[in-house]
Amino acid sequence: MSVDHKMDSSRRTLLLATSAAGGVAAVATAVPFVASLTPSERAKAAGAPVEADVSKLKPGEMMTVEWRGKPVWILRRTPEMLASLDKTDEKVSDPNSEEPQQPDYAKNKHRSIKPEYLVTVGICTHLGCSPSEKFKVGAEGGMTADWPGGFLCPCHGSLFDLAGRVYSSMPAPTNLEIPPHQYLADTTILVGDDGKA
């Protein structure tokens, strides 16, 4: 072997070792940088869909989940609650949900996919207050004798029926918002994603 051949072989080994070390260093530097570009867990949670297990929700009960920083109410309506919607049709300002406050699949009398479950954002459309539940019928719930049940916004007195439809002549201009949602199973609702996107 000549001296030139020995030198070329050592140079080649040094070049390969240096290249490998440089490649490892580049990857080690790039991984944290690329990872910093992905959204944080908090950012993901802020807009991410939320699963709600409604298996333990009894008829007449309501639960709240948080989606995009907003309270989302899931109300399991009783047959009596659903029957009350017929009585409020003439009292609400948008009985057929013509205003775009809900996805097309919730543009019906009960404003839901399944009549039994109401899924709505619990924020008044007037000034963003959170209405109170007033499910007890009549004066028993602190309302008028003919009150069929629903929601009351304590800030300025807006009334909503058990489908989240606002009563006529109230400060709230529109019905409560129905968020996009879908059923993953009979008792599991995914709020924030309706599978249409």
* Residue 88 placed within a domain: yes
Query: Domain span at residue 63?
Result: 45-191
Look at residue 18 in the predicted model and tell me its pLDDT: 84
Dihedral class, residue 34 (left if φ above 0, else alpha if ψ from -120 to 50, else beta): alpha
Mean pLDDT of the chain: 82
Q: What DSSP character marks residue 141?
A: G
Decide if pLDDT at 15 tops 80.
no
Identify whether 29 is part of a domain. Answer: no
C-alpha to C-alpha distance for 187 and 34, rounded to whole angstroms:
38
Quote the pLDDT of residue 116.
Answer: 93
**147: its two tokens:** 């009150």
Structural domain includes residue 178: yes
- 154 within some domain: yes
| Beta-strand pair 50-53/188-191 | antiparallel
**Is residue 26 a part of any domain in this protein?**
no
Label residue 80 by pLDDT band (50, 70, 90): very high
Query: H helices of 38-166, where?
Result: 41-47, 79-88
Residue range 87-96, pLDDT digits in tens: 888 888 888 8
The total number of structural domains in the chain stands at 1
Q: Report d(CA 77, CA 66) in Å as an integer.
A: 20
Task: Tokens 């602190």: give the residue.
Answer: 142
| Active-site annotation holds for 110 | no
**Interatomic CA distance for residues 51 and 54, integer angstroms:** 10
Rounded distance between C-alpha atoms, residue 52 and residue 190, angstroms: 6
Residues 143 and 135: beta-carbon distance below 8 Å: no
* 43-76: pLDDT as tens digits: 555 668 888 899 999 999 999 999 888 899 999 9
Q: Confidence class of residue 143 from pLDDT cuts 50, 70 and 90?
A: confident
CB 118 within 8 A of CB 75: yes
* CATH number reported for the structural domain that contains residue 65 in this entry: 2.102.10.10
Two tokens at 9?
């072989």
Q: Residues 5, 126, 156, 181: which is the catalytic one?
A: 156
Give the confidence band of 152 by pLDDT, cuts at 50, 70, 90.
confident
- The Cα–Cα gap between 160 and 110 comes to 13
d(CA 156, CA 131): 10
For residue 41, the model assigns a pLDDT of 63
DSSP state of 162: T
Residue 98 lies in a domain: yes
Residue 196 lies in a domain: no
Examine residue 17 and state whether it is found in any structural domain, yes or no. Answer: no
Judge whether residue 5 has pLDDT over 60: no
- pLDDT confidence band for 115 (50 / 70 / 90): very high
Q: What is the torsional sign of CA 65, 67, 71, 72?
A: negative
Reported pTM = 0.72
Among 14-23, 26-35, 132-141, 151-160, name the one with the lowest average pLDDT: 26-35
Which phi and psi (to 5°) does residue 15 adopt? -65, -45
